[in-house]
Amino acid sequence: MAEKVWGGRFKERMDEALERFNASLPFDKRLYAQDIRGSKAHCRMLAKQGIIAEEEASRMTEALSEILLELESGAAEFDPEYEDIHTLVEKRLVEKVGPLGEKLHTGRSRNDQVALDTRMYVRDAVARVLSLIGDLQETLVGLAEENIDVVIPGYTHLQRAQPVLLAHHLLAYYEMLGRDRSRYQESMKRVNVLPLGSAALAGTTFPLDREMVARELGFETVSQNSMDAVSDRDFVLEFHFASSVLMMHLSRLSEELILWSTREFGFINLPDAFCTGSSIMPQKKNPDLPELVRGKTGRVYGHLMALLTTMKGLPLSYNKDMQEDKEGLFDTVDTVEQCLLLMSRLLGGVTFQKETLRKAVEEGYLVATDLADYLVTKGMTFRQAHEVVGRMVVHALQKGRELNKLTVEEMKGFWENIEEDVYEWLDPVSCIDRRNLEGGTGRASVKRALAKAREEMNAR
């Protein structure tokens, strides 16, 4: 087994089972690029402060660059002999530059080092997720623009409720994703804080220039309390929370795609490239992608709850329990990125069954609310109109007809002020065109929303 960087205190070697149990390299090796970048910045700062010589810093940063290239290319392996990525990088550095490499750890601890690496990793992940959210929003807006005239049933309680534009429905998800973007962006204020310089928990006796390191690594500020800095994982929890809400939105979209693709709905065709078949039933075309997205939502929720549970009982400052933050974080990042990418590709190939949608809008008394509004324009209170239209729906049900198939004479039996102009209120398209207030499903309103969405996307 490799010698431990902390081994001087101990007389016995670590138990082999504990060695395996304790090691984090199998998963924290994903932090190698962040670890090396942070180490180079720390090294240059040590030289600037006169803690090490400029020539020493130059040799070490050059060697660190070589280690980065070797790890990226696969020329160097992530040797399981080392317990974590920090130790591996340091030992590889010593192999290259000799005992000089042992100076790199001056003024820092693995506690503030891993906090730094994780913050940089989350920062990089947020940038990628924001880009992928933007791609999905772009796909949704494109679908909405292509289908601006398509009318679909809007639902409440999974029951047909009122006619809406398909574009309006799609833009609802654009808005959800917009809030997701905001959550990730706002969390960056708390991610982008430099913990390096906090050492193990109390700071360091060396005159470090923390602001220099912050500038070099792109951090907006430095942490104000060393104990908090090494034991804070709020920023990881925030990433999990933002990701959980995002996945909830993707799951809702997935559920609708699953329902709409069934024979019972028949609203859409999913592209073959994103579906699978059955091993026994030749006719099947299964919506596995949206089902997996729906299922993986619980996985992301689980990582949030797991880390909340891990952190809730920890005294200050750093505790080994916090090593448990990594695997869940990495899995959440992978899951979110894959789901966003695949949902964009799936939606890009969805086709809408416009004839089926047209028929669906014409059935189910979706214009009942507009009929009530019509009665209000003729002098009724809305509560009276609601009651009258409810009785008219019962009558139409008994006759097996839609409201717009009732005669004026039949409708006058419920209220004598109904005239021929009532039919203008019973056409689904007309119902939509009357809803052009801000945020409504009217064609003019939706076109304004699309223009605003395009403007937002172009400004990114």
Does residue 7 form part of some domain?
no
Does residue 4 form part of some domain?
no
The CATH number of whichever domain residue 420 belongs to comes to: 1.10.40.30
| pLDDT of 356 above 70 | yes
The CATH number of whichever domain residue 101 belongs to comes to: 1.10.275.10
**Catalytic annotation present for 231:** no
The CATH number of whichever domain residue 136 belongs to comes to: 1.20.200.10
Task: Say yes or no: 48 and 153 in one domain.
Answer: no
Does residue 5 form part of some domain?
no
Q: Calculate mean pLDDT across residues 157-184.
A: 98
SS (H, E, C) the chain: CCCCCCHHHCCCCCCHHHHHHHCCHHHHHHHHHHHHHHHHHHHHHHHHCCCCCHHHHHHHHHHHHHHHHHHHHCCCCCCCCCCCHHHHHHHHHHHHHHHHHHHHHCCCCHHHHHHHHHHHHHHHHHHHHHHHHHHHHHHHHHHHHHCCCCEEEEEECCEEEEEEEHHHHHHHHHHHHHHHHHHHHHHHHHHCEECCCCCCCCCCCCCCCHHHHHHHHCCCEECCCHHHHHHCCHHHHHHHHHHHHHHHHHHHHHHHHHHHCCCCCCCEECCHHHCECCCCCCCCCECHHHHHHHHHHHHHHHHHHHHHHHHCCCCCCCCHHHHHHHHHHHHHHHHHHHHHHHHHHHHHCCEECHHHHHHHHHCCCCCHHHHHHHHHHCCCCHHHHHHHHHHHHHHHHHHCCCHHHCCHHHHHCCCCCCCHHHHHHCCHHHHHHCCCCCCCCCHHHHHHHHHHHHHHHHCC
Task: Quick: pLDDT tens for 415-431.
Answer: 999 999 999 999 999 99
pLDDT of residue 7: 63
Q: Which of 65, 131, 182, 278 is catalytic?
A: 278
Task: Say yes or no: 121 and 244 in one domain.
Answer: yes
Task: Quick: pLDDT tens for 234-289.
Answer: 999 999 999 999 999 999 999 999 999 999 999 999 999 999 999 999 999 999 99
Task: Say yes or no: 342 and 370 in one domain.
Answer: no
Task: Say yes or no: 315 and 353 in one domain.
Answer: yes
Model confidence at 4, pLDDT cuts 50, 70, 90, reads low
**Count of domains observed in the chain:** 3
Percent of the chain past pLDDT 90, that is, above it, reads 92
**Catalytic annotation present for 157:** yes
pLDDT of residue 460: 86
CB 86 within 8 A of CB 35: yes
Determine the Cα–Cα distance for residues 49 and 45; give it in Å rounded to an integer: 6
pLDDT of residue 253: 98
> Last residue of some domain: 106, 126, 155?
106
Angle at 195 between CA 239 and CA 2, to 5 degrees: 95
> Last residue of some domain: 63, 83, 106?
106
Tokens at residue 40, please?
Answer: 């180079």
Task: Say yes or no: 133 and 257 in one domain.
Answer: yes
Model confidence at 5, pLDDT cuts 50, 70, 90, reads low
| pLDDT of 66 above 80 | yes
Task: Quick: pLDDT tens for 102-149.
Answer: 999 999 999 999 999 999 999 999 999 999 999 999 999 999 999 999
Q: Which of 109, 157, 231, 344 is catalytic?
A: 157
| pLDDT of 229 above 90 | yes
Range of the domain at 49: 14-106
pLDDT of residue 424: 93
Q: Mean pLDDT score of the chain, rounded to an integer? A: 95
Does residue 2 form part of some domain?
no
pLDDT of residue 17: 79
pLDDT of residue 3: 65
Closest alpha carbon to 28 in 329, 244, 243, 333:
329
Task: Say yes or no: 189 and 313 in one domain.
Answer: yes
